[in-house]
Amino acid sequence: MKKNFNLIFGLSVIIFLFVFMFISLFHTPYSPTEMNIRERMQPPSAEHIFGTDQFGRDILSRVMEGSQTAFFVGFVAVSIGLIFGTFLGAVSGYFGGITDEIIMRIMDAMLAFPVILFALMFVSVFGVGIKNTIIAIGIMSVPSFARITRSGYIQHKQFDYVKSAKAMGAGPLRIMFLHILPNVISPIIVAASMGFSTAVLSEAGLSYLGLGVLPPSPSWGRMLNESQIYISKAPWFAIIPGIFITLTVLGFNFFGDGLREYADNTEK
Amino acid sequence: MYYYLRKFIAMFFTIIIVTLITFFSFEIIPGDPVLSKLGIDADEAQIASLRAELGLDMPIPVRYIKWVGNILKGDLGESVRFSLPVYDLIKTRLPVTFSLMIISILITLAVGIPLGILSAKYNNRIGGFFINFITQIFLAIPSFWVGIMLIMIFGVILKWFSPGGYVSWSENPAESIKSVILPSVAIALPNIAIVIRYLKNSVLEQMKKDYVRMAYSKGLNSFRVMKNHVIRNAVIPVITVLGMIISSVLAGSLIVEQVFTLPGIGRLLISAIGNRDLPLVEGMILYISFTVLFINFIIDILYKFIDPRIKYD
């Protein structure tokens, strides 16, 4: 833990954003949806620290509520990737052979594909909305989990503890998920942290294009979309949501890197 | 030979997966197009004849094979909205996206490679910290937001030019480059960070090798060791990230074209989705994914060609 700047910095940013999001569940300074034409496009001031948008809505309140969307999308998408990816990776690595070959070729095919392209295809067939955004991003995060889990299993399946479990009559499922999984969990957590960043970035991109989260759910990406025509009159409107996206991604990337360093150091 | 064969089989397999997913997404899931074309009042005979005409009465595997056959003939289908072949629509938009991608990749390599080498050289406590922090920020900033910020700085505050719109190369080469330079910078930023981080680790890895110690003990100074030995070996692995960079540049340009209102394939795709022009979306997804796969394949081949020591996996 000592001197692990990445971990400490990443964790601080995540905690800050999480608290920010948590407060917004109970209280925002103004209503995020209430319009007030008289106060439209106000620069940052004591009443509105981040100013107001084209409808006079308080940007701080909207950014706060947008953080709920970002966390929700990130959390659910990563969970989808984590569950399916870990399972596929475990099966692939543990059994090897033709099963491994087929699963990994599919994973490679998915990795070669830009996330945003798949998400665009997905929403064009199944419709635009937060649910399909999450599913598409979740599906595309499966391969990174599968790869990382697989390499852990290939390494661990030859260890003595696995052999002894086998000798004691444990079935493959028991060995895979009760014996090996706890030992390979740290790279999976690292991948989850990185996956969270990717999910937040992809959601912001899709929502910016108007093909992600739809109104009335607030989204940082869509705020940027709306802000763009007002950049000469209300530059703060285009600056604030971008800072929050960057900060979230930065936090989870640093946290992931720090975690990897931490795991490497404790293993030695 | 084994390497090329494996890579080729892998690409072939990927193409099969991509076509299967696309076929099911666009040809099967959206449902029967006959009913929506004829309306609910159509009688049985009409429905049956149109279904036969469109080939919808055949079993799904047969339809898939016929569908792949059409693609192989270069027929990507026809746009509903424009009533034009998808490929013709893509062709007119291609130069924009292509020049955007080329310039982004050039910026990425021109900035990333020197900075990557320098950051390996100055990888001490303060330098390493600084490089890590800057590259992390580059990776975290969404490219479309960088685009908006560049428009704000250069268009609104400095008023150097009005951003947005595209000037073709044949019209005015200087203006053409000017119209794609800001979007290219926005797209290049995260990729520069990838190259720097990757190259830094690659150089540091090489520095530990025996041939470096050997070169030093021959009396070469550190500049010559770097120039003649280390960099040559360290740059080769960067080719492997090139595939990733190209697909990331492509993904970036799909969004950034929207920011700068550039009439490239990204805008065509987004507007096709907005108009529910599914055949156009389908054709474009196929075109874009085939291009990505083909480029990745070429890079794998190139990699082996440059460094014959590479083995599969």
ipTM: 0.90
Residue A253 counted as domain residue: yes
Which of A29, A43, A30 has the alpha carbon at shortest distance from A230?
A: A43
Percent of chain B having pLDDT more than 90?
Answer: 22
What is the arithmetic mean of pLDDT over A85-101? 92
Q: CA B120, CA B274: separation in Å to the nearest integer?
A: 46
Percent of chain A having pLDDT more than 90?
Answer: 49
Cβ-based contacts of A112 with chain B (< 8 Å): 14, 243, 247, 292-293, 296
Largest CA distance in chain A: 76
Q: CA B288, CA B93: separation in Å to the nearest integer?
A: 13
Identify the weakest region by mean pLDDT among A41-45, A84-88, B117-121, B193-197. A41-45
pLDDT at A2 > cutoff 60? no
Identify the weakest region by mean pLDDT among A66-75, A252-261, B43-52, B150-159. B43-52
Ramachandran quadrant class, A141 (left: phi over 0; alpha: psi -120 to 50; beta: rest)? alpha
Which of B116, B117, B107, B111 has the alpha carbon at shortest distance from B227?
A: B117
Domain carrying residue A181: 60-267
* Cβ count near B52 (within 10 Å): 11
Q: CA A191, CA A28: separation in Å to the nearest integer?
A: 33
Q: pLDDT tens digit string along A209-233?
A: 999 888 878 899 999 998 888 888 8
pLDDT at A134 > cutoff 90? yes
pLDDT at residue A31, rounded to an integer: 82
CATH of the domain at A262: 1.10.3720.10
Q: Is B129 within 8 Å of A109 when comparing Cβ atoms?
A: no
For A:169-208, CB contacts with B below 8 A are 197, 201, 204-205, 208
Q: Is A246 within 8 Å of B17 when comparing Cβ atoms?
A: no
Residue A10 counted as domain residue: no
Task: Pick B96 or B31 by higher pLDDT.
Answer: B96
Q: pLDDT tens digit string along B180-214?
A: 889 999 999 999 999 999 998 888 888 888 888 88
Q: pLDDT tens digit string along A161-175?
A: 988 888 888 888 888
pLDDT at residue B212, rounded to an integer: 82
CATH H-level, domain B92-306: superfamily: MetI-like (1.10.3720.10)
Q: Is A117 within 8 Å of B289 when comparing Cβ atoms?
A: yes
For A:110-129, CB contacts with B below 8 A are 112-117, 120-126
Cβ-based contacts of A204 with chain B (< 8 Å): 142, 144
Q: CA B168, CA B180: separation in Å to the nearest integer?
A: 10
| Domain count across chain A | 1
pLDDT at B136 > cutoff 70? yes
pLDDT at B138 > cutoff 90? yes
Residue A55 counted as domain residue: no
Place B68 in a pLDDT band, splitting at 50, 70 and 90. Answer: confident
Mean per-residue pLDDT of chain B: 84
pLDDT at residue B40, rounded to an integer: 67
Place A267 in a pLDDT band, splitting at 50, 70 and 90. Answer: low
pLDDT at B312 > cutoff 70? no
Place A68 in a pLDDT band, splitting at 50, 70 and 90. Answer: very high
Interface test with A, best of B145, B156, B191, B197 (most A CBs within 10 A): B145
Q: Is B14 within 8 Å of A108 when comparing Cβ atoms?
A: yes
- Please tell me whether residue B307 adopts helix, strand or coil conformation: coil
Which of A264, A244, A252, A185 has the alpha carbon at shortest distance from A50?
A: A244
- Retrieve residue B271's tokens: 């507007």
pLDDT at A268 > cutoff 60? no
pLDDT at A158 > cutoff 60? yes
pTM equals 0.89
Q: CA A53, CA A66: separation in Å to the nearest integer?
A: 14
Which of B155, B150, B178 has the alpha carbon at shortest distance from B166?
A: B178
Domain with CATH 1.10.3720.10 in chain B: 92-306
**Are B190 and B248 a contacting pair, CB within 8 Å?**
yes
pLDDT at residue A223, rounded to an integer: 92
What is the arithmetic mean of pLDDT over A136-155? 93
pLDDT at B47 > cutoff 80? no
Q: Is B142 within 8 Å of A204 when comparing Cβ atoms?
A: yes
Q: Is A117 within 8 Å of B251 when comparing Cβ atoms?
A: yes
Q: CA B202, CA B232: separation in Å to the nearest integer?
A: 11
Residue A31 counted as domain residue: no
Q: Is A233 on the interface with B (CB under 8 A)?
A: no
Residue A47 counted as domain residue: no
pLDDT at residue A14, rounded to an integer: 95
| Amino acid at the residue B287 | Y
> Which backbone phi and psi does A56 adopt, to 5 degrees?
75, 15
For residue A59, give how far its alpha carbon lies from the nearest alpha carbon of chain B (Å).
17
**Are A152 and A93 a contacting pair, CB within 8 Å?**
yes
pLDDT at residue B81, rounded to an integer: 82
Sign of CA dihedral B83, B285, B104, B259: positive
pLDDT at residue B112, rounded to an integer: 92
Q: Is A108 on the interface with B (CB under 8 A)?
A: yes
What is the number of CB-based contacts under 8 A between chain A and chain B? 127
Cα angle B212, B218, B224; round to 5: 60
Place A203 in a pLDDT band, splitting at 50, 70 and 90. Answer: very high
Place B58 in a pLDDT band, splitting at 50, 70 and 90. Answer: confident
pLDDT at B39 > cutoff 80? no
Residue A121 counted as domain residue: yes
- Candidates B129, B142, B152; nearest CB to A205: B142
pLDDT at A248 > cutoff 90? yes
Cβ-based contacts of B251 with chain A (< 8 Å): 114-117
For residue B228, give how far its alpha carbon lies from the nearest alpha carbon of chain A (Å).
32
Task: Pick B68 or B227 by higher pLDDT.
Answer: B68
Mean per-residue pLDDT of chain A: 89
pLDDT at A244 > cutoff 90? yes
pLDDT at B313 > cutoff 60? no
pLDDT at residue A231, rounded to an integer: 87
Cβ-based contacts of A132 with chain B (< 8 Å): none
pLDDT at residue B242, rounded to an integer: 86
What is the arithmetic mean of pLDDT over A87-108? 90
Q: HSE-up of B54 (CA within 13 Å, CB side)?
A: 14
What is the arithmetic mean of pLDDT over A141-146? 94
Q: pLDDT tens digit string along B220-246?
A: 887 888 777 788 787 777 887 888 888
